[in-house]
Chain A
Amino acid sequence: MYREMGLVSASTHMPQDDAGLLVLVRRGDEHAMAMLFDRYSKVVYSVALRVLRDPSSAEDILQEVFMQLWRNPDSFSTTRGNLGGWLAVVTRNRSIDALRRRRPVDAVEDMILAAPYDVADEAERNTMMEKARSVIYRLPVEQRKTLEMAFFDGLTHSEIAEMTGDPLGTVKTRIRSALMTLRKAFQG
């Protein structure tokens, strides 16, 4: 499934790993940029489409995120996690910004991402997606829906509380618990 998402990438066994391609992008190599696009465009587009539900807007975010990478490849460094995950989160944040028609909240450079999976291992990477989905589907429905509303719909905890009628504290706890369950599943 990760292969389908275009997440097969960072392995050192591949002819060009992400770090190598980023070095080339830093030197202005357009072909390297095209390879990164081919590798991750599905991830970026899928996340943007999931948030925005509009192909045209999702394509705009796709362009924006990859142009950001082209203009400033140093905004991502390998110490910040894996490129696929980093792009996914940056895309989600930019999509929520677009959804709320607000200026980007943070500089992408500020985001550090502790990857809970081994990006160098292709087999493990390929099973990550299925595993994540199954973990999410096993969550209590309230937790699953609350996380979805917060992450993919960009609703604040106050907005979620207002919509669902649940107390603020409950909403916050559900979000944190859902993420902790996801993390534990990958640590175990």
Chain B
Amino acid sequence: MNTARHYETDDLALFAMQLLSKDEMAVVAAHVADCQLCRQQVAQFQGDLAVYAMTSEVHSPPAQARERLMKQIAREKKMVPVERTPAPVPFERVQPRGQTIFAGAEPTSSIGRGLGSGRYLEEREAEKPKRNIAAAIFPWIGWAAAAGLAVMLGSLYHERDSLRSAMTTQAGQIDRLSAEAASAKQLMDAMTDPAAKKVTLTKTAATPAPPQPQGKVTYVPEKGTLIFVANNMEPLQVYKVYELWLIPADGRDPIPAGTFHPDERGNASVIMPPLPKGIEAKAFGVTIEDDGGSQTPTMPIVMAGS
């Protein structure tokens, strides 16, 4: 890989953001892997992006998210790796100066072999094959068995891994479906609850041009459940969003109850935004906010109802 030619910092910034094409990503990744300078620059851009990412407006995840994660984690309990003692090496002994000799075989050096007539040597040579074959075969049978066992274990391990992965996926789907079913039940309960407060929101300034934007809120204070459905909403500029507000009866600050964009026909909805339970509502309102929503309403209130 040619590391002499470095990439432009503009391109490395795009690479850090994964905004290059697939092919370009692969080429730059290969270069960055070998080029210390470019790698440093990418790391610096990643650091910049981490800071930038954290400028997002703070939102708390739904309470059930933690429960869902902990359930999933409990399902995927880890096998804690056991400290392994080094396996004994029964068939090998290591000689000084790096020579390795199979146990049971004769030393290959002349030391200790004995020197004598040629006949003596011949006898030794004649005996040697028998002993060497036995000595050579038996250890290898052991190794072969071990290798076979290792292959089998590897196969079983992969099988277990894929089963575990499939099980995790299915468990995730079950969790998701359960959550969706619970959510649907909650929705139905709210829609049919006789204690639910139903409020119709209309445009505050009476303009003659029909059709009028209209929103309907169904709100159950005890459960903190809110459903908002709107129609005939006017389209918004890019980077703007409608935000629904719950105005508490006890005079507290308005509580953001979700943002929404109307579709091309002017329809929009906010279904069960995260809201604290037990807040009595005096009224509801809708404002136009910058994209991403706001924690305090920006005047004017474009729709209101109580």
Contact = CB atoms under 8 A, between A and B. Distances in A.
Interface of A: 1-2, 4-5, 7, 27-28, 30, 33-34, 37-38, 41-47, 49-50, 53, 55, 58-59, 62-63, 66-67, 70-71, 81-82, 84-86, 88-89, 91-93, 96, 105-106, 110-117, 128-129, 132-133, 136, 147, 150-152, 154-157, 169, 172-173, 175-176, 179-180, 182-183, 186
A50 B292 contact: yes
Contacts of A59: 61-62, 65, 68
Interface centre among B13, B29, B39 (most CB of A within 10 A): B13
Contacts of A70: 73, 76
Contacts of B119: none
A114 B72 contact: no
B70 interface: yes
Interface of B is mostly: helix
Given A50-B292, A66-B69, A128-B54, A172 B48 contact: no
Interface string B49-91: 1111111111111100110111011101111100000000000
B68 A116 contact: no
B39 A112 contact: yes
Given A30-B70, A67-B69, A111 B46 contact: yes
B238 to A, nearest CB: 9
Contacts of B21: 156
Which bracket fits the contact residues of B?
35 or more
Given A89-B49, A151-B53, A157-B19, 9 more contacts: A30-B74, A42-B59, A70-B73, A105-B22, A128-B54, A173-B10, A175-B13, A175-B14, A176-B13
Contacts, number: 183
B25 interface: yes
B3 to A, nearest CB: 17
Contacts of A50: 56-57, 292
Contacts of B68: 59, 63
A132 B19 contact: no
A5 B60 CA distance: 9
Contact of B55 (A136, A156, A157): A136
A105 B18 contact: yes
29 contacts: A42-B59, A42-B61, A46-B57, A47-B53, A47-B56, A50-B57, A63-B65, A63-B68, A67-B72, A70-B76, A81-B43, A81-B50, A88-B50, A89-B53, A92-B49, A92-B53, A106-B29, A113-B46, A114-B47, A128-B54, A129-B55, A136-B55, A147-B52, A156-B19, A156-B21, A157-B19, A175-B10, A176-B9, A186-B51
Given A33-B73, A132-B51, A114 B43 contact: yes
Contacts of B78: 27-28
Interface string B10-40: 1101100111111001000100000000011
A182 B52 contact: yes
B77 A28 contact: yes
Contacts of B66: 34, 37-38, 41
A110 B25 CA distance: 13
A179 B46 contact: no
B248 interface: no
